[in-house]
Structure 1
Amino acid sequence: MEEVERVELSRGLSLVHLMMMGMGMMIGAGVFVATGISIGFAGPGGILVAFALNGLIAFFSAMSFAELASALPTAGGAYTYIDEAFKGLVGFLSGWVNWFALTVAGSLYAITFATYTVFLLEGTDWFAGLGLDSELLIKLLALGIALVFIAINYIGVSETGSIENLITLGQMGTLAFIGLFSIYYVIVHPEKLAHFSDFVPNGWDKVLVAMGFTYVGFEGYEVIAHAGEEAINPKETIPKAILYSVAAVTATYLLFAFAAIVGAEPGDVPVHEWFAELGPIGMGEAIKDLMPYGGLLITLAAIFSSTSALNATIYSSTRVLFAISRDGRLPGIFSRIHAVRRVPHYALFASSLIVLTVALAFPIEDVAASADIVFLLIFLLVNAAVIKIRNERGDELDYGFLMPYFPYIPLLAIFFQGILSLWVFNVSPTAWAITIVWVLLGLVIYRNYEGARVEAFKFERETVFEEGETGRYRVMVAVANRKNAAVLTRYAEAMAERIGGELLIVSVVTVPEQTPLEEARRFAGEAVEVIREAKAHTSGKVGVEGIVYYSHSVYRGIMSAVRDKKVDLLVLGWEGRSRWSKYVLGSNLDRIVENAPCNVLVVKPGDTEGKPIGSILFPTRDGRHSVRSAELVEILAGAFGAKITVLTVNSSGESEKKLRERLKPVLEKIPGAELKIVPGEPVSAILEECKKHDLVVVGATGEPLFRRLVFGEVPEKVAGRCRRTVLLLKINRGIRARINRLVGRRVE
């Protein structure tokens, strides 16, 4: 037996650790650089409105992150969530762009540290006497602080977490003191509120620009999701840490912006023009005017905040690159973990290289705007991903948190984030150019590296054979073993031939969650033989395709096939309910029948199976709902040349005239069908009539008699007790119109 050494990240980050990481990353350049610049064009009231609305939008996205992180606590964060939802090119680009966004944010925080350090030094006589170039010194200090925190991250997670807590406590304490002092200051000097008289001097469109430009200050909670594999009890602690961090930071931003506005001493010029002239150091000058030693305090706050955020972004960007490489989408060297330090050291070095390069090469406004654009686009995709994942996989995932008012909250976030990303162009066209170039580079890498990989496994499938022309209507039969292959194929091919469609034969090979899907191919032999067995029972009158799907669950594999191949009718097999089972059809079948985005036909073979089908029994009661089922029953009868008996049980003593009138829509869809009305108890009466027919089709979802296909009392009893072959039919309302068109065109 071959032994494989498996190196994993340890779980040691608590709720406090996670909150400190998130708040530390959020409270960085969003306050000290972007705020001063934004007041310059949005005005004193505009920046407060921008922060409040950004906090609301961030809270919407935070709920999406919290929901996804509670169900998928992995190291990839946003990349993992988007890839789970969209896969392929979109999944790769999300990781590629997210990695870039985090590294650029790291550059921004390094520059912020250097800018405020130089701001403090410029106020001293000895520094002025040195005659040093401030811009050059800012670049050198940015380089130096980045190298320090690259080394800290190389040490390991536990040391990083301890330093993170210390730094974040320092920054929060400093900001809280400044904010509380500003409230006292306004009470003593109420005339300072006059700074808000020109609330939004340049128009409300500039508020949108300010929102887009300062949004980078609200992206820090993503680092919490990246720590999913290292968090204690991640399903509970990660959602709490994300939501608590956003709420705390939004309040801090509002208070701190208020302090800067009331503390500014603009003289005879409007306060927004004063901030516009000072640019990145406007916040520093305002706090310096607000209170004694304000310059020192603001510099300490900037140092605490920018270094904390820098530490968190280096950590987070490393984990994203690690996750992309671990998925095989970038060279494997980036997913190697240092045997001693237990950190992905090559991923750390690559991320660090970009942090250093961007910090040295671009002005701070362009760096900040680039980070804003990319984070807005990433969060937009995460909000789209939470909708897609809950709709398609919500029943199979174990959520620790579910957002309220779904899907309206993520839809609102998508709308506003799209608008804000476009408005950032007003601040820096260069930022959009940088973003586009990075995306194009990602496309090149995808085509030449990711595209060269075996796509069969990313799409979780491998084609066994394909022949014939593709029809407009697609019938898929899921076969699990040779025993049911012939039976299921019989009905699936009959429907496909009658409608003029094609037949898709699918078998699912499963492996445990911890086993890569690539390994599933080793176990595909039986599935291939089952598909070939099913193919052998076809007549050759319709196009047939056989595919093996590789998945971590039967449910997920079949649902992937249905969505991937755009299936119209899914045919499944059922051997009958176990006496002790809590499920109607079985755990996988119940979920598939309820959630499949297509019509579903479940076949329970009986004692008439394999024999000619001359008569079909179709029990129903409500003609209005039964019309949808009747359309496919008529197609089925036409395929086998069988007669149809429509049965209704009069258990309430209604007049025969009323029953016939109610069932008139059904009889119109099945010309030549016999209507039979019998008294008695529904289940017993139907079972008695079943004995006279070769095939029984049990009605559609929505009929009062068969209230729901899954967990419905009458269909469960009929299907379970009937000795004839029974077909359980569920109509998907979303494709009703298409069925009507096909029936009208092909079967008249």
Structure 2
Amino acid sequence: MGEENFGLTEAVSMALGGMIGGGIYAVLGVVTQITRAATWFAFLLAGVFAICSAYSYIKLNELAVGDDAANNAGGSVTFVQSFTGNSTLAGMIGWTLLFGYVGSMAMYAFAFAEFSISLPGVPPSVGGFPLRPIISVLVVAGFVGLNLLGAQATGSAENVLTSAKVLVLVVFGLAGIAYALSVSSEPIAVGTSELASFDPVMAAAVSFVAFQGWQLLFYDQESITDPLETIPKAIYVSVPVAVSIYMLVAVVTYNLAPQAVRNSPHTALVEAASAIGGAAGLASAAAIVISLSALFSTGSAINATLFSTGYFAKGMLSDDLLPDRTGDSSESGVPERTLLILGVVTAAFTAYGSLSAITAFASLSFIVVFGTMSALAFTQRDAERITATWPAVGVIGGGLSFVLMFYHLYTAERGTFYAVLLLALAIFAVELLYFERDVIEEEIPYVTRDSETTAD
């Protein structure tokens, strides 16, 4: 791995790449099914919760790593260790986040393959084998290889990918509004009646995973020039931009392709683009452009998440929170073995795993962590330059989102609810076995001795 650093432009690209990825193509349909035309408001609420959590991260980072941020790994694990002194809790949060990131990357790879297959001339299977899993695995492998080239190659690629997808989505949104105002005979629906209900709040909880990409920057601090200044700027630019794009795309997609949003959410934007392009006789071309944008979006999301998760895992290795066999924390940049392991697990999940369950688990894990970081920041409210209001809003938003997310899964997706519950319990058990292994080993002789005495 290389040692080249990147600046504000690359940092903004990495944050946007982590937010405007699979979410805009997959989460949009789920959220719209909950709150219909008021989807834009759900994204606005989720953005408010995200920016409050971001404020907490920024302030905790200033307190935890200080002026030596460029040589320290920040983020949730560091904050928990610094402000609670509980390494076991910090490690369990770290492991949970790692599974959340792997689930997110698997979702992006899945969406990448689906949009690839939707392109003209691409068959759904080759030689009797479904093409979707093959493409998903190949795109993960490709971005693992890119990340092995170093930070500069990753940052440059992210600039290109993010610029392309943002441009396409902004043009799509503005053209859609123009189409709705000048061509469509129907008024633009904004879901005014839904704003007084609880649905947008529940939908905001479901969409929380779409706004987690900004916090990946805290794991990249050794690759960012002047991180204490660059990271806050990048976050305060990227989150509002992402929220604005989500809101614009939500309004256009719901109004131009309401049936597709309900029946085939993965291709709803393609249907909306076809309607816009159809006004100029370019329906097919518009559909292809938005499909290619989906490839840029999901690709950049894989790239940004993999790169930052690698640094996150390296920090955990340095703190002895991961087994030594998963990488060498003394390597420059992200350990190659760590990147390869992340790639292999992600590829396995996207090829064989239940993406609905792992993505729901990822959403819940981010909600818990964001709320916890806001709570930590609130406990430090007496520190200089920390305003208690924003962490308090983050705590309330995180707690409410967690409850509503579980309620939604239990009432609307009972199978996914049980799958997520079982997955959470399994991961929790593995974490306990790892972090409490010394205690368990000490207790085993006593358990064996007691069993032998009872037998006698």
- Taking structure 2 as the reference length, the TM-score comes to 0.85
Paired with 1:82 and 1:246, the residues of 2 have a C-alpha distance of 24
Compared with structure 1, are the counterparts of its residues 360 and 449 closer, same or farther at alpha carbon in structure 2 (3 Å cutoff)?
farther
Larger radius of gyration: 1
Higher helix share: 2
Does residue 261 of the first structure (1) align with residue 254 of the second (2)? yes
Which of residues 230, 237, 242 in structure 1 aligns to 2:230?
237
Does residue 411 of the first structure (1) align with residue 395 of the second (2)? yes
Secondary structure, in 3 states, of the residue corresponding to 1:12? coil
Secondary structure, in 3 states, of the residue corresponding to 2:357? helix
Secondary structure, in 3 states, of the residue corresponding to 2:187? helix
Q: Which residue does the alignment assign to 1:324? A: 316
Compared with structure 1, are the counterparts of its residues 346 and 298 closer, same or farther at alpha carbon in structure 2 (3 Å cutoff)?
same
State the 1:337 CA deviation.
5.1
Alignment of 1:130-169 (within 5 A): 136-169=130-163
Paired with 1:301 and 1:259, the residues of 2 have a C-alpha distance of 16
Q: Which residue does the alignment assign to 1:575? A: none
Q: Which residue does the alignment assign to 2:374? A: 383
Which of residues 436, 449, 452 in structure 2 aligns to 1:447?
436
Paired with 1:285 and 1:449, the residues of 2 have a C-alpha distance of 57
Alignment of 1:396-545 (within 5 A): 402-403=386-387, 405=389, 407-425=391-409, 426-427=412-413, 428-429=416-417, 430-448=419-437
Compared with structure 1, are the counterparts of its residues 134 and 85 closer, same or farther at alpha carbon in structure 2 (3 Å cutoff)?
farther
State the 1:220 CA deviation.
0.5
Alignment of 1:612-623 (within 5 A): none
1:376-408 deviation line (CA, Å, top 9, x unaligned):
1121221122223555xx47xxxxx74563653
Partner AA of 1:227 in structure 2:
D
Does residue 369 of the first structure (1) align with residue 355 of the second (2)? no
Q: Which residue does the alignment assign to 1:221? A: 214
Does residue 277 of the first structure (1) align with residue 263 of the second (2)? yes
Does residue 18 of the first structure (1) align with residue 2 of the second (2)? no
State the 1:370 CA deviation.
2.2
1:168-194 deviation line (CA, Å, top 9, x unaligned):
111111111111111211220353335
State the 1:9 CA deviation.
8.1
Compared with structure 1, are the counterparts of its residues 70 and 230 closer, same or farther at alpha carbon in structure 2 (3 Å cutoff)?
farther
Alignment of 1:710-721 (within 5 A): none
State the 1:452 CA deviation.
8.0
Q: Which residue does the alignment assign to 1:514? A: none
Is the Cα–Cα contact under 8 Å of residues 58 and 218 in structure 1 kept in the other structure? yes
State the 1:150 CA deviation.
0.6
Partner AA of 1:280 in structure 2:
H
Which of residues 164, 172, 175 in structure 2 aligns to 1:181?
175
Partner AA of 2:115 in structure 1:
Y
Paired with 2:305 and 2:190, the residues of 1 have a C-alpha distance of 35
Compared with structure 1, are the counterparts of its residues 290 and 41 closer, same or farther at alpha carbon in structure 2 (3 Å cutoff)?
farther
State the 1:90 CA deviation.
1.6
Unaligned residue ranges in structure 1 (runs of 5+): 1-7, 265-270, 396-400, 454-748
Is the Cα–Cα contact under 8 Å of residues 380 and 413 in structure 1 kept in the other structure? yes
State the 1:21 CA deviation.
0.2
State the 1:298 CA deviation.
1.5
Does residue 52 of the first structure (1) align with residue 44 of the second (2)? yes
Does residue 41 of the first structure (1) align with residue 25 of the second (2)? no
Secondary structure, in 3 states, of the residue corresponding to 1:191? coil
Higher strand share: 1
Secondary structure, in 3 states, of the residue corresponding to 1:221? helix
Q: Which residue does the alignment assign to 2:448? A: none
Is the Cα–Cα contact under 8 Å of residues 143 and 359 in structure 1 kept in the other structure? yes
Alignment of 1:642-657 (within 5 A): none
Paired with 1:82 and 1:450, the residues of 2 have a C-alpha distance of 22
Query: Paired residues, what number?
Result: 424
Paired with 2:393 and 2:179, the residues of 1 have a C-alpha distance of 38
Is the Cα–Cα contact under 8 Å of residues 106 and 313 in structure 1 kept in the other structure? yes
1:127-166 deviation line (CA, Å, top 9, x unaligned):
46x8659992211111110000011111111111111111
Q: Which residue does the alignment assign to 1:347? A: 338
Compared with structure 1, are the counterparts of its residues 416 and 234 closer, same or farther at alpha carbon in structure 2 (3 Å cutoff)?
same
Compared with structure 1, are the counterparts of its residues 442 and 109 closer, same or farther at alpha carbon in structure 2 (3 Å cutoff)?
same
State the 1:237 CA deviation.
1.0
Alignment of 1:287-298 (within 5 A): 287-291=273-277, 292=282, 293-298=285-290
State the 1:335 CA deviation.
4.7
Is the Cα–Cα contact under 8 Å of residues 109 and 350 in structure 2 kept in the other structure? yes
Is the Cα–Cα contact under 8 Å of residues 70 and 234 in structure 1 kept in the other structure? no
Compared with structure 1, are the counterparts of its residues 42 and 407 closer, same or farther at alpha carbon in structure 2 (3 Å cutoff)?
closer
Unaligned residue ranges in structure 2 (runs of 5+): 443-456
State the 1:416 CA deviation.
3.0
Cα RMSD over matched residues? 2.9
Secondary structure, in 3 states, of the residue corresponding to 2:6? coil
Paired with 2:379 and 2:307, the residues of 1 have a C-alpha distance of 28
Q: Which residue does the alignment assign to 2:328? A: 336
Is the Cα–Cα contact under 8 Å of residues 322 and 334 in structure 1 kept in the other structure? no
Paired with 2:172 and 2:439, the residues of 1 have a C-alpha distance of 50
1:197-222 deviation line (CA, Å, top 9, x unaligned):
79549x94443442222211100001
Partner AA of 2:170 in structure 1:
A
Is the Cα–Cα contact under 8 Å of residues 37 and 282 in structure 1 kept in the other structure? no
Paired with 1:159 and 1:321, the residues of 2 have a C-alpha distance of 20
Compared with structure 1, are the counterparts of its residues 211 and 450 closer, same or farther at alpha carbon in structure 2 (3 Å cutoff)?
farther
Paired with 1:284 and 1:328, the residues of 2 have a C-alpha distance of 46
Compared with structure 1, are the counterparts of its residues 56 and 438 closer, same or farther at alpha carbon in structure 2 (3 Å cutoff)?
same
State the 1:450 CA deviation.
9.1
Paired with 1:184 and 1:299, the residues of 2 have a C-alpha distance of 21
Alignment of 1:598-637 (within 5 A): none
Partner AA of 2:99 in structure 1:
F
Alignment of 1:294-309 (within 5 A): 294-309=286-301
Partner AA of 2:26 in structure 1:
V
Is the Cα–Cα contact under 8 Å of residues 57 and 416 in structure 1 kept in the other structure? no
State the 1:32 CA deviation.
0.4
Compared with structure 1, are the counterparts of its residues 133 and 192 closer, same or farther at alpha carbon in structure 2 (3 Å cutoff)?
farther
* % same residue: 21
State the 1:231 CA deviation.
1.5
- Taking structure 1 as the reference length, the TM-score comes to 0.53
Alignment of 1:564-713 (within 5 A): none
Paired with 2:302 and 2:36, the residues of 1 have a C-alpha distance of 29
Does residue 84 of the first structure (1) align with residue 82 of the second (2)? yes
Paired with 1:402 and 1:139, the residues of 2 have a C-alpha distance of 47
Does residue 119 of the first structure (1) align with residue 118 of the second (2)? yes
Report 1 or 2 for greater relative contact order, CA contacts < 8 Å, sequence distance ≥ 6.
2
Partner AA of 2:94 in structure 1:
G
Secondary structure, in 3 states, of the residue corresponding to 2:389? coil
Partner AA of 1:116 in structure 2:
F
Secondary structure, in 3 states, of the residue corresponding to 1:25? helix
Compared with structure 1, are the counterparts of its residues 258 and 109 closer, same or farther at alpha carbon in structure 2 (3 Å cutoff)?
same
Paired with 1:194 and 1:180, the residues of 2 have a C-alpha distance of 13
Q: Which residue does the alignment assign to 2:446? A: none
